[in-house]
Amino acid sequence: MVDADKKQRCGFISLVGLPNAGKSTLLNALVGQKVSIVTHKAQTTRFRLRGIALHQNTQMIFVDTPGIFSAKTTLEKALVKDAETALGECDLHLLVVDVKRGITDEVENLLGKLKGKRCALILNKMDLIQKERLLYLAKELNDMLPFERTFMISALNEFGVQDIIHDIADMLPEGPWHYPEDQLSDLPMRMMAAEITREKLFLRLHQELPYSLMVETESWEDFDNGDIKINQVIYLQRESHKPIVLGKNGETVKKIGQLAREELTKLFDRKVHLFLHVKVRENWQEKPEFYNKMGLQLH
Ligand SMILES: Nc1nc2c(ncn2[C@@H]2O[C@H](COP(=O)(O)OP(=O)(O)OP(=O)(O)O)[C@@H](O)[C@H]2O)c(=O)[nH]1
Ligand SMILES: [Mg+2]
């Protein structure tokens, strides 16, 4: 409940960590609705996106980011650069660590980048390890960087998530809210729709293929009866990927379209007619215009 006599607070809180740590799962749990796609594969998130939660008079703007790691390809470098932007922009940083994987060189590298900033530690996936190991990790990581708070959670089971909201609200500065009270995300619907299709592609396709494609919502039509017609293009890097994405008699892309349509229908609470078109753009990952479409920068 909003207390009219209490001053408003508002702040930006980054969710940073290695790929696959559970940042997007946590964002969705914090917001209470799916705003960021999640898969079991690393490097699912491709750009910063905001999810908004309210606690009493505080508006908390969580910024989900791509995982930070030692990037090699052009796309990977753009993802990491985008994530690192959040380190300069936010009032507070939540370092999300997958406790099953523990403290790796890349975690240590990230701790270096967080030095001197306001940080809290999120030990995620606590459902996967013993309590003694959890306590050991909490101590080790706090010895390396003194965190203002440490939370032990399971984002997947939404365990410990409300404690984060409750505890960090007071850490944010006083100031007017940035977004209307009912807004949950800054992602335009066309991009959300493209993300849902990309999630289904990630879940359905294997090896390097999901990483070498992108999805764009090309057109969106609202009909008088409430239905939505969406045309999307799936861009592939190579001609040889096309038969795999299409599948025998087009079955693979049909299944992906069906799964995306079902989820979009639920999400928008309207009937969705989704049409997927597969196009090859050799080496799109080297072309700036594709990064612009994704809200990223090439260099
Ligand atoms: N067991 C367990 N799995 C989890 C938990 N949180 C997330 N996961 C799983 O971890 C995987 C990665 O989750 P994401 O939320 O996509 O991770 P991410 O950090 O956003 O990954 P990138 O976007 O690739 O950087 C998914 O399969 C999740 O279901 C948890 O608390 N426990
Ligand atoms: Mg993610």
Residues pairing with 160 in the sheet:
none
For a mutational test of ligand 1's pocket, the pick from 27, 106, 127, 156, i.e. the residue with the most ligand atoms closer than 8 A to its C-beta, is: 156
The 10s digit of each residue's pLDDT in 235-266 is 999 999 999 999 999 999 999 999 999 999 99
Contacts of 253 (CB under 8 A, 6+ apart): 234, 245, 246, 247, 276, 278
Ligand 1 atom 11, closest CA: 40
Q: Which amino acid is it at 59?
A: Q
Residue 3 has pLDDT above 90, yes or no: no
Q: Quick one: average pLDDT of 18-32?
A: 98
What was the pLDDT predicted at 29? 98
* Percent of the chain surpassing pLDDT 90: 95
Instruction: Decide if 276 contacts 234 (C-beta within 8 A).
Output: yes
Q: What is the pLDDT of residues 65-84, one digit of tens each?
A: 999 999 999 999 999 999 99
- CA dist., res. 151 & res. 153, Å (int): 6
CATH architecture for the domain at 9-171:
3-Layer(aba) Sandwich (3.40)
Average pLDDT, the chain: 96
User: What is the CATH architecture assignment of 189-294?
Assistant: 2-Layer Sandwich (3.30)
Element (H, E) at 94: strand 92-98
Report whether residue 38 contacts ligand 1, using a CB cutoff of 6 Å: yes
Q: Is the CB of 231 under 6 A from ligand 1?
A: no
34 lines ligand 1 (CB under 6 A): no
**How do residues 269-292 score in pLDDT, each as one tens digit?**
999 999 999 999 999 999 999 999
Q: Please state whether beta strands 149-152 and 58-64 pair in parallel, antiparallel, or not at all (unpaired).
A: unpaired
Q: What angle do CA 128, 108, 60 make, to 5 degrees?
A: 70
Say whether pLDDT at 299 is over 90: no
Measured CA to CA, the distance from residue 153 to residue 158 in angstroms comes to 8
pLDDT at 297 (0 to 100): 85
Grade residue 2 by pLDDT with cuts at 50, 70 and 90: low
Domain residue spans in the chain? 9-171, 189-294
